[in-house]
């Protein structure tokens, strides 16, 4: 055993902390608390003080040099776990390249002397103490106080930090109830060539008014400022993006991405982007790593900063919302329970030719399959690739003060449209039929809704399905399981401010329907399985191919009612609840948050681009598509809603996506030639594109994408494990490659 302490009391606490760490065979899972949900309220908070206590010794935030890692704690595959006893931190050495990935940055010595930052730590905490906010971390508020230590554990090490608000509290042997102190244990275990990091926490002092609001974990792991050409930070923006650290961009701002989007029940005022996958990574030199959040993903954010000065570092790291908190009109709302008690991440390390974003995606895909997040199945390839078609039955429209439902595509009209598509060579259509239940596009509670008679009722729906089935096409009924425009027959969810929880969905038709999209109430989460059972019962006499999960595929929320559940538990409950829908039916998801994909057969509206604008230093990459291709069919947002139709078509080819259009049989504006949703305006272009795409991509649908890269400016190549390559040329000039020509603004498959 390796012990770095002289205090017997600390040793006792170390052993107790380690015995509390929960291990599983392949990875470490969540040990979620069983406290009831709900909100505690502290009223009349006129002001909130922000308190930090930084050490005068800034070197606690750095490892002095590679020689500082004097203890070899474990080894597995091509990596070694090394410990720096002075800073109570660790590093990972990739042995083929002798690359050290350090949890804290190495001391940066320049001609101007030592350049120090003071925010690097093993773990940082945002703590609510009474009504004040404390920003504390493992280095300033534990290591500097002599309250940090580590011990060896099976094939790894556990780093224990007793973090206090001040040195006076740290020196006590017994604590007052008003004292603030938390124990945080970070363990690093090597297994099968990967590193599993877990983080647990507990309240040392027993202060009933002290809560950990947020945890930042390993915020400088792999940080560097000696950037080389080709180095990047990988962030989960949309389809995925790389931040090119070798390209100077003085205007670059820090980024934060909420995994699975923001929680509409938490009323966060911070502006962040959303991510559908809980992964991030770094490439530095000839090595790279990817990190996958295995437990705590539903309450995680992924943050990135690009160095713009010599004293700054390129970093990407996760943070976790442990206790939801909201402050409004001098009232402080605090969740009764923590969202999660144990965080778990898996780090995979790559070197040489594998140290690319495609290599990181491959490692991430393998780990997701191991963790049973993704299925081991492959796409069933037929004669034709799917053409995804979103149809709208009815939607609200305004005529002055009068609001009414307007039919956009009846069941008979849908059949007529599909017949035309078939005649034009679009032979395999997967129809997502939205707005067919009571309320139309702004649907009411699905449990008490029926197929609308105004569209033709169940008889005409049966006739439509009979035609679709005879043509070997598919029909998916779009439904909102968790939201309603008019409340619920049961209970609604409660947000953190004790109001009815709601959200405002995106609606591509809003500008055309002359009707502002309204808020939709969110359902109480306590009876998810009963809701799904009711849907299965109510739709058993309908004729259709499967369910399209609309809000369930794109919205994840907490229910702060007394018998509700927080977001992390909700993700698990949703994933479990929707499983029965896949029995006897296919399941389609909108957007496709990764936590619920195991029982999903196809995804539409998956991101094909990024939310942050691209630049020389910021580039969209198909990280998500590299993971999913071959496992499930996917399609981006409707092609006809893009600004440039041709570029959108080419982007779908580059990313291996099936075509997706959103059409109505009726025009929603008077000048039909300007209506992007009027099917007659783009059906010929869609049919022509479908023929080209089907010929190039259909037999690759069950193949893995093995690589993706930019050949030259505006020329991209996507490689498959069959040996096929797809070249896409976005420029206005022809391009020659391998003895063939890729025409301007076109694509070419080379086998």
Report pLDDT digits (tens) over 688-699: 999 999 999 999
The answer as to whether 214 is a domain residue is: yes
For residue 32, the model assigns a pLDDT of 35
Last residue in a domain, options 171, 199, 223: 223
* Better-predicted residue by pLDDT, 616 or 46: 616
The answer as to whether 541 is a domain residue is: yes
Tokens 């009068």 — which residue?
402
Q: How many CB atoms lie within 10 A of CB 228?
A: 12
Q: Give the pair of three-digit tokens for residue 87.
A: 């800073």
Pairwise CA distance, residues 228 & 99, whole Å: 14
- Using CB atoms within 10 Å of the CB of residue 275, give its burial: 0 to 12 exposed, 13 to 18 middle, 19+ buried: buried
pLDDT at 729 over 60: yes
Q: How confident is the model at residue 662 (pLDDT cuts 50, 70, 90)?
A: very high
Of 200-214, 554-568, 618-632, 710-724, minimum mean pLDDT range = 554-568
Q: Are residues 596 and 649 in the same domain?
A: yes
Calculate mean pLDDT across residues 381-397: 93
- The end-to-end CA distance of the chain, in Å, is 57
Q: Give percent of the chain above pLDDT 70.
A: 91
Pairwise CA distance, residues 414 & 461, whole Å: 10
Q: Are residues 521 and 627 in the same domain?
A: yes
pLDDT at 35 over 80: no
For residue 15, the model assigns a pLDDT of 40
For residue 511, the model assigns a pLDDT of 59
Q: Are residues 576 and 721 in the same domain?
A: no
Calculate mean pLDDT across residues 365-384: 94
Pairwise CA distance, residues 499 & 559, whole Å: 11
pLDDT digits (tens, 9 = 90+) for 519-548: 899 999 888 888 999 999 999 989 999 999
CA dihedral 267→271→275→280, nearest 10 degrees, is -120
pTM of the predicted structure, to 2 decimals:
0.92
Pairwise CA distance, residues 472 & 385, whole Å: 12
Pairwise CA distance, residues 590 & 431, whole Å: 13
For residue 633, the model assigns a pLDDT of 96
Long-range contacts of 534-542 (CB under 8 A, 24+ apart): 534/447, 535/446, 535/447, 535/479, 535/481, 535/581, 536/580, 536/581, 538/447, 539/477, 541/458, 542/451, 542/458, 542/461, 542/477
- Residues 717 and 726: beta-carbon distance below 8 Å: yes
Can you say whether the dihedral through the CA atoms of 172, 175, 176, 179 is positive or negative? Answer: positive
Q: What is the mean pLDDT of the chain?
A: 89
- Using CB atoms within 10 Å of the CB of residue 613, give its burial: 0 to 12 exposed, 13 to 18 middle, 19+ buried: exposed
Pairwise CA distance, residues 23 & 387, whole Å: 45
Sheet strands side by side (includes 502-503): 483-484, 520-522, 502-503
Which DSSP letter does residue 141 get? I
H or E, element range at 692: helix 683-697
Q: Are residues 507 and 572 in the same domain?
A: yes
Pairwise CA distance, residues 568 & 86, whole Å: 36
Which DSSP letter does residue 422 get? H
Q: Are residues 124 and 174 in the same domain?
A: yes
Pairwise CA distance, residues 725 & 130, whole Å: 60
Last residue in a domain, options 699, 717, 742: 699
For residue 29, the model assigns a pLDDT of 34
* Better-predicted residue by pLDDT, 21 or 78: 78
Q: Are residues 592 and 576 in the same domain?
A: yes
Pairwise CA distance, residues 431 & 404, whole Å: 25
Q: How confident is the model at residue 510 (pLDDT cuts 50, 70, 90)?
A: low
Calculate mean pLDDT across residues 287-314: 93
Residue 712 makes CB contacts below 8 A (sequence gap 6+) with: 735
The answer as to whether 241 is a domain residue is: no
Q: Are residues 735 and 661 in the same domain?
A: no
Q: Are residues 662 and 724 in the same domain?
A: no
The answer as to whether 120 is a domain residue is: yes
The answer as to whether 184 is a domain residue is: yes
Which DSSP letter does residue 386 get? -
Domain region containing 564? 387-699
Q: How confident is the model at residue 672 (pLDDT cuts 50, 70, 90)?
A: low
Q: Are residues 108 and 72 in the same domain?
A: yes
SS (H, E, C) 480-532: CCCEECCCCCCCECECCCCCECEECCCCCCHHHHCCCCCCEEEECHHHHHHHH
H or E, element range at 748: strand 746-750
Here the CATH number for the domain that contains residue 595 is 3.20.20.80
Three-class SS state of 464: helix
- Quote the number of domains for the chain: 3
Q: How confident is the model at residue 44 (pLDDT cuts 50, 70, 90)?
A: low
Pairwise CA distance, residues 117 & 314, whole Å: 12
Q: Give percent of the chain above pLDDT 90.
A: 73
The answer as to whether 115 is a domain residue is: yes
Pairwise CA distance, residues 740 & 718, whole Å: 16
The answer as to whether 137 is a domain residue is: yes
φ, ψ dihedrals at 48, nearest 5° = -125, 120
For residue 115, the model assigns a pLDDT of 61
Question: Could you tell me the CA-to-CA distances from 314 to 220, 361, 594 in Å, in that order?
Answer: 8, 21, 27
Nearest to 590 by CA among 553, 557, 546, 628: 553
Q: Are residues 738 and 665 in the same domain?
A: no
- Using CB atoms within 10 Å of the CB of residue 403, give its burial: 0 to 12 exposed, 13 to 18 middle, 19+ buried: exposed
Q: How confident is the model at residue 612 (pLDDT cuts 50, 70, 90)?
A: very high
Calculate mean pLDDT across residues 165-177: 95
pLDDT at 36 over 80: no
For residue 199, the model assigns a pLDDT of 98
Q: Are residues 537 and 507 in the same domain?
A: yes
Q: Give the pair of three-digit tokens for residue 97.
A: 């390249």
pLDDT digits (tens, 9 = 90+) for 640-658: 988 888 999 999 999 999 9
Can you say whether the dihedral through the CA atoms of 563, 567, 568, 572 is positive or negative? Answer: positive
For residue 567, the model assigns a pLDDT of 93
- Residues 553 and 632: beta-carbon distance below 8 Å: no
Q: How confident is the model at residue 37 (pLDDT cuts 50, 70, 90)?
A: low
- Residues 573 and 564: beta-carbon distance below 8 Å: no
Last residue in a domain, options 164, 190, 223: 223
For residue 669, the model assigns a pLDDT of 66
Pairwise CA distance, residues 572 & 340, whole Å: 12
Of 476-490, 544-558, 598-612, 710-724, minimum mean pLDDT range = 476-490
pLDDT digits (tens, 9 = 90+) for 219-262: 999 999 889 999 999 999 999 999 999 998 888 889 999 999 99
Q: Are residues 658 and 732 in the same domain?
A: no
Which DSSP letter does residue 16 get? H
> Residue 160, Cα to own-chain centre: how many angstroms?
29
For residue 45, the model assigns a pLDDT of 73
The answer as to whether 317 is a domain residue is: no
């Amino acid at each position: 055993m390796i012990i770095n302490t002289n205090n017997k009391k600390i040793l006792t606490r170390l052993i107790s902390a380690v015995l509390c760490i929960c291990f599983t065979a392949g990875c470490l899972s969540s040990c979620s608390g069983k406290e009831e949900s709900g909100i505690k309220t502290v009223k009349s908070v006129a002001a909130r003080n922000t308190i930090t206590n930084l050490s005068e010794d800034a070197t606690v935030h750095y490892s002095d040099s590679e020689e500082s890692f004097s203890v070899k704690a474990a080894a597995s595959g091509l990596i070694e776990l090394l410990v720096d006893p002075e800073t109570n931190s660790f590093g990972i050495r990739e042995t083929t390249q002798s690359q050290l990935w350090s949890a804290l940055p190495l001391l940066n010595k320049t001609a101007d002397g030592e350049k120090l930052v003071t925010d690097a730590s093993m773990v940082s905490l945002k703590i609510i103490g009474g009504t004040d906010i404390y920003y504390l971390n493992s280095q300033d508020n534990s290591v500097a106080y002599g309250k940090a230590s580590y011990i060896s554990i099976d094939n790894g090490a556990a780093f224990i930090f007793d973090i206090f608000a001040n040195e006076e509290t740290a020196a006590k042997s017994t604590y007052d109830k008003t004292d603030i102190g938390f124990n945080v244990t970070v363990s690093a275990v090597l297994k099968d060539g990967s590193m599993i990091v877990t983080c647990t926490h507990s309240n040392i002092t027993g202060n009933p008014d002290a809560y950990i609001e947020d945890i930042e974990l390993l915020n400088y792991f792999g940080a560097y400022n000696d950037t080389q050409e080709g180095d990047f930070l990988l962030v989960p923006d949309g389809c995925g993006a790389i931040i090119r650290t070798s390209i100077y961009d003085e205007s670059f701002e820090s980024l934060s991405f909420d995994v699975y989007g923001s929680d509409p029940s938490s009323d966060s005022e911070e502006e962040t982007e959303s991510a559908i996958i809980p992964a991030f990574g770094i490439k530095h030199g000839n090595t790279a790593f990817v990190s996958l959040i295995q437990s705590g993903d539903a309450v995680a954010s992924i943050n990135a900063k690009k160095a713009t000065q010599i004293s700054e570092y390129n970093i990407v790291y996760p943070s976790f919302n442990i206790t939801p908190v909201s402050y409004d009109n001098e009232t402080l709302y605090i969740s009764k329970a923590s969202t999660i008690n144990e965080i778990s991440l898996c780090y995979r390390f790559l070197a040489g030719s594998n140290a690319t974003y495609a290599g990181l995606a491959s490692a991430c895909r393998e780990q997701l399959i191991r963790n049973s997040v993704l299925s081991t199945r492959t796409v069933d390839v037929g004669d034709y690739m799917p053409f995804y078609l979103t149809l709208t039955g009815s939607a609200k429209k305004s005529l002055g003060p009068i609001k009414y439902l307007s039919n956009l595509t009846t069941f008979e009209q849908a059949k007529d449209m599909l017949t035309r598509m078939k005649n034009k060579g679009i032979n395999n259509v997967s129809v997502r039929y939205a707005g067919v239940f009571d309320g139309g596009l702004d649907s009411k509670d699905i449990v008490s809704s029926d197929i609308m008679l105004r569209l033709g009722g169940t008889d005409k729906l049966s006739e439509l399905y009979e035609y679709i089935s005879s043509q070997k096409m598919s029909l998916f009924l779009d439904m909102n399981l968790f939201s309603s425009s008019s409340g619920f027959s049961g209970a609604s969810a409660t947000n953190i401010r004790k109001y009815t929880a709601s959200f405002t969905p995106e609606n591509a038709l809003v500008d055309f329907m002359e009707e502002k999209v309204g808020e939709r109430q969110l359902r109480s989460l306590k009876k998810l399985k009963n809701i799904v059972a009711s849907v299965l019962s109510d739709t058993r006499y309908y004729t259709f191919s499967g369910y399209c999960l609309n809000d369930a595929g794109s919205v994840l929320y907490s229910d702060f009612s007394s018998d509700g559940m927080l977001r992390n538990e909700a993700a698990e409950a949703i994933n479990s609840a929707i499983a029965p829908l896949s029995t006897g039916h296919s399941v389609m998801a909108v957007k496709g948050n990764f936590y619920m994909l195991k029982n999903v057969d196809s995804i539409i509206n998956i991101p094909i681009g990024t939310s942050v604008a691209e630049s020389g230093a910021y580039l969209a990459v198909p990280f998500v598509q590299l993971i999913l291709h071959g496992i499930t069919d996917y399609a981006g947002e409707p092609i006809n809603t893009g600004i440039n139709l041709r570029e959108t078509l080419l982007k779908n080819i580059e990313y291996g996506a099936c075509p997706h259009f959103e059409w109505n049989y009726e025009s929603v504006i008077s000048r039909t030639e300007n209506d992007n949703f009027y099917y007659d305006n783009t059906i010929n272009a869609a049919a022509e594109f479908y023929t080209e795409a089907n010929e190039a991509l259909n037999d690759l649908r069950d193949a893995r994408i093995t690589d993706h890269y930019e050949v030259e400016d505006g020329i991209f190549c996507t490689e498959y494990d069959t040996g096929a390559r797809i070249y896409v040329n976005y420029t206005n000039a022809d391009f020659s490659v391998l003895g063939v020509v890729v025409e301007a603004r076109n694509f070419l498959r080379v086998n």
